[in-house]
């Protein structure tokens, strides 16, 4: 199947637009695409007529242009006939927003869609989904444009069975500064499933990291997914729900999925170097880290801080996750010490963590960074920046990024995410260094590099 019309359409038809209810999902989708995106969109309703001075077409066959993507938001019993008309009209593919299929006991209705599509080699997403968010191009989410939080374009693609989880992740991604290449809610995944999206995204030049929220697989599908993921030359992150008996029951009622034995699935993921996120917070941190770095590390962490308390907290978190915080060699400590400013030399602690104290200036951070970037006893560095320290300037993020990029050693920074610190944060982000808004998140970013296979 050709997925190009699904993800790069030039023309879209929205089927199910209401002439009397502006809050109907189809109307929300049509208005948003019409007003916000650079694609041509057409409203369709069997009654015809006009909607906001635009002609409403009674049938998709009446539209005077070939339609790449049909977005279907009509009652479930009408959808098979709509899909058949789309196929006869040479539409490229469809997103079926409508619910009322296998998730509510109508597996027969869903199977009719699959039979039609497979016979015609016609791709569709759904049913029972939000569909597609393609940054700057279009989105089929039935959420008002002013309420949808849109991450900037970037290198991470997310495929989710749940539309709600997907939208919530987009909020977290935007807050953390993680950019998206594509976000797809597959719902009941009647036709296009995780394996299909994995194959497509593995070849997508705009995607560097692929993340999945999975509720369940069909019998033996989970094993096929892991085997396929292991051969993809990109980092893959999986957040799996349905781990408990109650969760498996909820997954079945939500998208008619078989959740399976999570312990077995988790073990197989780890064996193949596929990173499993325990929760949404971990997924965001893992995605950000793996979108910046591709090398696998052992997890020997060097820490730079201006706060002894923060250094102790991070050391504890590292230890709890099996990451080492080794003592620094005499040579490393000497190299750092001789380049520190005179006011800091006598008060800094040059063990690991390296505590530069609140008197540190930019040059002191650079001295510590140079020392740890060349230290063989650590293979990654966590930098704890408290931007309210008086000696720190907005240029520090860029200066430190250059040090670690020169030595090709992963650096993760912790900086509180406040607008007043934006220039400092951007100094890291513009140089492809991940910045966490929490110290737990910074450790998670390091853990992702330890757990992911070399890509």
SS3 category, 223: helix
The answer to whether residue 254 scores a pLDDT higher than 50 is: no
- Give the residue from 396, 399, 393, 385 showing the smallest Cα distance to 436: 385
Does residue 323 form part of some domain? yes
Residues of the chain with pLDDT > 90, as a percent, come to 85
Cα–Cα distance, 200 to 210 (Å, whole number)? 11
Six-digit token pair at 63? 């539209």
Is residue 76 domain-shared with residue 156, that is, in the same domain?
A: no
> What stretches of 100-220 show up as alpha helix (H) in DSSP?
107-120, 163-176, 194-202
Is residue 278 domain-shared with residue 163, that is, in the same domain?
A: yes
Does residue 135 form part of some domain? no
CATH number of the domain bearing residue 85: 3.40.50.720
CA 402 to chain centre: 26
DSSP per-residue letters across 264-314:
HHHHHHHHTTPEEESSHHHHHHHHHHHHH-------BEEEEES-HHHHHHH
The answer to whether residue 253 scores a pLDDT higher than 90 is: no
How far CA 4 is from CA of 135, 169, 222, 313, in Å, comes to 15, 25, 26, 48
Is residue 245 domain-shared with residue 322, that is, in the same domain?
A: no
Handedness of CA 274, 280, 286, 291 (dihedral sign): positive
* End residue of a domain, out of 241, 264, 292: 292
Six-digit token pair at 162? 């749940």
pLDDT of residue 190: 97
Dump pLDDT digits (tens) for 138-180. Answer: 999 999 888 899 999 999 999 999 999 999 999 999 999 999 9
Is residue 222 domain-shared with residue 334, that is, in the same domain?
A: no
Cα–Cα distance, 67 to 42 (Å, whole number)? 9
The answer to whether residue 345 scores a pLDDT higher than 50 is: yes
Does residue 213 form part of some domain? yes
Q: Is the preceding omega at residue 211 within 30 degrees of 0, hence cis? A: no
How buried is residue 59: exposed, middle or buried, by Cβ count under 10 Å (0-12/13-18/19+)? middle
Does residue 141 form part of some domain? no
Summarize the confidence of residues 201-219 as an average pLDDT: 95
Does residue 35 form part of some domain? yes
* End residue of a domain, out of 270, 292, 314: 292
SS3 category, 45: coil
Is residue 274 domain-shared with residue 305, that is, in the same domain?
A: no
pLDDT of residue 454: 62
Give the count of alpha carbons within 13 A of 23, CB side only: 0
Tell how many helices (H) and how many strands (E) occur in the chain.
17, 19
Is residue 86 domain-shared with residue 22, that is, in the same domain?
A: yes
Give the count of alpha carbons within 13 A of 208, CB side only: 17
SS3 category, 372: helix
How many domains would you assign to the chain?
3
Is residue 316 domain-shared with residue 342, that is, in the same domain?
A: yes
Is residue 378 domain-shared with residue 286, that is, in the same domain?
A: no
* End residue of a domain, out of 235, 269, 292: 292
Per-residue pLDDT band for 264 (boundaries 50, 70, 90) equals confident
Does residue 134 form part of some domain? no
Cα–Cα distance, 267 to 245 (Å, whole number)? 18
Range of the domain at 40: 1-124
Is residue 173 domain-shared with residue 280, that is, in the same domain?
A: yes
Is residue 262 domain-shared with residue 320, that is, in the same domain?
A: no
Cα–Cα distance, 273 to 282 (Å, whole number)? 16
* Buried b or exposed e, range 328-357, using 16+ CB within 10 angstroms: beeebbebbbeebbeebeeebebebbbbbb
DSSP strands (E only) in 16-96: 40-44, 50-51, 54-55, 69-72, 93-96
Give me the phi and psi of 299, to 5 degrees please.
95, 40
Rounded-to-5 percentages of helix, strand, coil across the chain: 40, 20, 40
Dump pLDDT digits (tens) for 22-74. Answer: 999 999 999 999 999 999 999 999 999 998 889 999 999 999 999 999 999 99
Does residue 138 form part of some domain? no
Six-digit token pair at 245? 């008996």
Does residue 374 form part of some domain? yes
Q: Are strands 11-15 and 40-44 parallel, antiparallel or unpaired?
A: parallel
CATH number of the domain bearing residue 198: 3.40.50.261
Dump pLDDT digits (tens) for 380-426. Answer: 999 999 988 899 999 999 999 999 989 899 999 999 988 888 999 99
Q: Are strands 411-414 and 380-384 parallel, antiparallel or unpaired?
A: parallel
Is residue 106 domain-shared with residue 26, that is, in the same domain?
A: yes
Average pLDDT score over the chain: 93
Cα–Cα distance, 369 to 302 (Å, whole number)? 10
Cα–Cα distance, 173 to 162 (Å, whole number)? 16
Is residue 430 domain-shared with residue 299, that is, in the same domain?
A: yes
């Amino acid at each position: 199947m050709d997925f190009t019309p699904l993800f790069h359409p030039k023309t879209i038809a929205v089927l199910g637009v209401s002439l009397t209810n502006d809050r109907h999902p189809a109307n929300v989708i049509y208005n948003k695409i019409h007003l916000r995106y650079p694609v041509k969109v057409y409203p369709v309703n069997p009654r015809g007529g006009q909607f906001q001075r635009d002609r409403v077409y009674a049938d998709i066959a009446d539209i005077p242009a070939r339609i790449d993507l049909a977005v279907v938001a009509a009652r479930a019993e009408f959808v098979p006939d709509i899909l058949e008309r789309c196929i006869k009209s040479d539409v490229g593919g469809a997103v079926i927003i409508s619910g009322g299929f296998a998730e509510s006991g109508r597996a027969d209705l869903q199977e009719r869609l699959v039979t039609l599509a497979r016979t015609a080699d016609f791709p569709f997403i759904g049913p029972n989904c939000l569909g597609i968010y393609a940054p700057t191009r279009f989105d089929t989410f039935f959420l008002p444009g002013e309420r949808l939080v849109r991450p900037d374009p970037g290198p991470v693609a997310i495929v989710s069975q749940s539309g709600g989880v997907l939208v919530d992740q987009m909020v977290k991604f935007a807050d953390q500064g993680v950019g998206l290449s594509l976000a797809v809610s597959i719902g009941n995944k009647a036709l296009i499933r995780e394996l299909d999206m994995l194959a497509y995204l593995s070849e997508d030049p705009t995607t560097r990291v692929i993340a999945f929220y999975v509720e369940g697989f069909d019998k033996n599908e989970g094993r096929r997914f892991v085997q396929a993921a292991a051969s993809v030359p990109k980092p893959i992150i999986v957040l799996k729900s349905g781990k408990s008996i109650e969760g498996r029951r909820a997954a079945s009622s939500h998208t008619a999925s078989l959740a399976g034995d999570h312990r077995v699935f988790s073990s197989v993921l780890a064996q193949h170097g596929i990173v499993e996120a325990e929760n949404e917070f971990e997924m965001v941190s893992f995605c950000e880290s793996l979108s910046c770095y591709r090398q696998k590390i052992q997890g020997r962490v060097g820490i730079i801080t201006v706060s002894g308390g923060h250094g102790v907290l991070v050391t504890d978190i590292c230890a709890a996750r099996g990451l080492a915080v080794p003592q620094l060699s005499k040579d490393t400590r000497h190299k750092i010490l001789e380049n520190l400013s005179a006011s800091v030399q006598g008060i800094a602690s040059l063990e690991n963590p390296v505590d530069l104290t609140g008197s540190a200036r930019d040059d002191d951070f650079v001295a510590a960074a140079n020392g740890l970037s060349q230290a063989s006893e650590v293979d990654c560095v966590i930098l704890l920046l408290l931007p309210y320290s008086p000696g720190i300037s907005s240029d520090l993020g860029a200066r430190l990024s250059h040090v670690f990029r020169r030595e090709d050693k992963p650096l993760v920074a912790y900086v509180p995410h406040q607008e007043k610190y934006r220039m400092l944060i951007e100094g890291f982000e513009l140089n492809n260094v991940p910045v966490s808004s929490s110290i737990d998140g910074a450790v998670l970013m390091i853990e992702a590099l330890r757990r992911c296979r070399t890509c």
